[in-house]
């Protein structure tokens, strides 16, 4: 069997944890499997590197940020190779480009265009354990790129897809995917299975246990994922096309407090205004989520929408000239908000999920600022200070204590 195993930052935090991973990997190898390992930077290394950059230049170029951030994974792959070697198994570490990762040129949020697994294959043929630096690739200018935060998950799925691996295991610091963040909600339950679509909505709604692009890619190439703990060797959660075990209406509750609400007050109430607003935001490559447009009154209307917090300033900048030209009364953003979502394919056939969610929030005296939904998700925007209380209340509503 060809097995891809990915280990996140906390799983390789220090020497002891690296050795733990080395043991886990060699165990898989000794069973006769071909093993490709993808690792992230140790512990908080990526955050620390970003902080170092900010000390020198708050607006450092994304190219240089990628050069800097990619260093974190280079450290982990070498250390893990050394640890595995100390256990008597042959291992070789490869940077993203050596492992054949070709990306586009969007620095800090690069998309994988292709993985050419020739080198990985050649090393596996020599019966080596191959250790690949997650999160990084190379663009057409031969510059190092990174895939965006949490991107190592995507590196693992990309290798599994391009090499038709038999198994893609995402090892982390919790035992699987839960009905809510188990570190925040003690009553959260581990799911045996979850569909790609549900997991994608969970990940996009703030459950960082899997990066959303990795789920998107797993679905596209039909790579079955297993999320499990690197510390406690028990069955985790399977992420796949269809699930059978748990016929639950709701699979989970997620919180995203990395969002901002952009508000425009008093734009002319004419046809084409929303188009002009959102095409400008799209041109700045910013993803918009919840949208609220007020009913026109006295010839004007208000528009509010949410964007990732890091994009708030750029979103406002992209609209400033237009809003001034149209005589809008104000244009600003607020990062004091959080998005709470409930996710589950079962809600497609069960009415009343939104009502139950709103009831729980009302009982907890939490005000809803905006609402959005998809077929399998309902999200609300609330004040940031209410976010944890809101997750707790909504989780209790659907899963009990
Ligand atoms: P890694 O370093 O292994 O990539 P991450 O920190 O990116 O790990 O993701 C794991 C974390 O995701 C967990 O520690 C947990 O706090 C958080 N998390 C948020 N929502 C969920 C959820 N629904 N199920 C499991 N973990 C979750
Ligand atoms: N080290 C990178 C990050 O912290 C990639 C990853 O962990 O997946 O975002
Ligand atoms: Mg992660």
Predicted TM-score (pTM) of this structure: 0.94
Distance 43 CA to ligand 1 centre (A): 13
At residue 290, the pLDDT reads: 85
Q: Which residues of 327-353 are buried (b: 16+ CB within 10 A; e: fewer)?
A: ebeebebbeebbbbbbbbbbbeeeeeb
Query: Residue 46: nearest ligand to its CA?
Result: 2
From the CB of 7, is ligand 2 less than 6 Å away? no
Q: Which residues of 158-185 are buried (b: 16+ CB within 10 A; e: fewer)?
A: bbbbbbebebbbbbbbbbbbbbbbbeeb
Per the structure block, which two tokens stand in for 166? 């038999």
Q: In this structure, are residues 373 and 357 in contact, taking their beta carbons and an 8 Å threshold? A: no
Long-range interactions of 54-62: CB distance < 8 A, separation 24+: 61/107, 62/107, 62/108
Nearest ligand 2 atom to the CA of 9 is 7
Write out residues in the chain with pLDDT < 50, as ranges.
Answer: none
226 by DSSP, 3-state: which? strand
Q: In this structure, are residues 148 and 137 in contact, taking their beta carbons and an 8 Å threshold? A: no
Query: Residue 72: nearest ligand to its CA?
Result: 2
At residue 348, the pLDDT reads: 83
- Measured between alpha carbons, how far is 104 from 340 in angstroms, rounded to an integer? 32
From the CB of 77, is ligand 2 less than 6 Å away? no
Nearest ligand 2 atom to the CA of 148 is 9
- Measured between alpha carbons, how far is 105 from 142 in angstroms, rounded to an integer? 10
- Measured between alpha carbons, how far is 367 from 192 in angstroms, rounded to an integer? 33
At residue 244, the pLDDT reads: 78
At residue 246, the pLDDT reads: 62
Q: Each residue of 191-235: pLDDT tens digit?
A: 999 999 999 999 999 999 999 999 999 999 999 999 999 999 899
Distance 188 CA to ligand 1 centre (A): 13
């Amino acid at each position: 069997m060809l097995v891809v195993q990915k280990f996140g930052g906390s799983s390789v935090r220090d020497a002891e944890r690296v050795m733990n991973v080395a043991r886990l990997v060699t165990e898989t190898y000794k069973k006769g499997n071909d093993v490709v390992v993808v690792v992230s930077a140790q512990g908080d290394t990526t955050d620390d590197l970003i902080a170092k950059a900010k000390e020198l230049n708050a607006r450092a170029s994304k190219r240089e940020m990628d050069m800097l951030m990619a260093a974190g994974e280079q450290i982990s792959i070498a250390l893990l190779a050394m640890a595995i070697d100390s256990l008597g198994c042959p291992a070789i570490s490869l940077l993203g480009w050596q492992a054949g990762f070709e990306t586009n040129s969007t620095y800090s949020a690069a998309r994988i265009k292709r993985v050419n697994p020739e080198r990985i294959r050649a090393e596996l043929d020599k019966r080596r354990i191959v250790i690949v630096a997650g999160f990084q690739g190379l663009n057409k200018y031969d510059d190092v790129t990174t895939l965006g935060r949490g991107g190592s998950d995507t590196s693992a799925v990309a290798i599994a897809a391009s090499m038709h691996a038999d198994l893609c295991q995402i090892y982390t610091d919790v035992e699987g995917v839960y009905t809510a963040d188990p570190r925040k909600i003690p009553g959260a339950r581990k799911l045996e299975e979850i569909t790609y679509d549900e997991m994608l909505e969970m990940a996009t709604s703030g459950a960082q246990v899997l990066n959303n692009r990795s789920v998107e890619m797993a679905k596209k190439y039909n790579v079955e994922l297993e999320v499990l703990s690197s510390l406690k060797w028990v069955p985790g959660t399977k992420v796949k096309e269809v699930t059978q075990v748990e016929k639950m209406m709701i699979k989970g509750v997620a919180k995203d407090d990395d969002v901002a609400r952009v508000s425009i007050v008093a734009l002319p109430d004419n046809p084409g205004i929303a188009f002009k607003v959102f095409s400008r935001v799209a041109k700045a490559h910013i993803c918009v989520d919840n949208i609220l447009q007020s009913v026109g009154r006295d010839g004007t209307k208000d528009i509010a929408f949410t964007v990732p917090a890091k994009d708030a300033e750029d979103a406002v900048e992209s609209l400033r000239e237009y809003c001034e030209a149209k005589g809008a009364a104000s244009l600003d953003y607020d990062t004091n908000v959080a998005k709470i979502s409930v996710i589950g394919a079962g809600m497609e056939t069960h009415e009343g999920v939104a009502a139950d969610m709103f009831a729980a929030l009302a009982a907890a005296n939490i005000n809803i600022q905006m609402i959005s939904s998809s077929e399998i998700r309902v999200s609300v925007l609330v004040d940031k200070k209410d976010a944890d209380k809101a997750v707790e209340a909504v989780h209790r509503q659907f899963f009990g204590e």
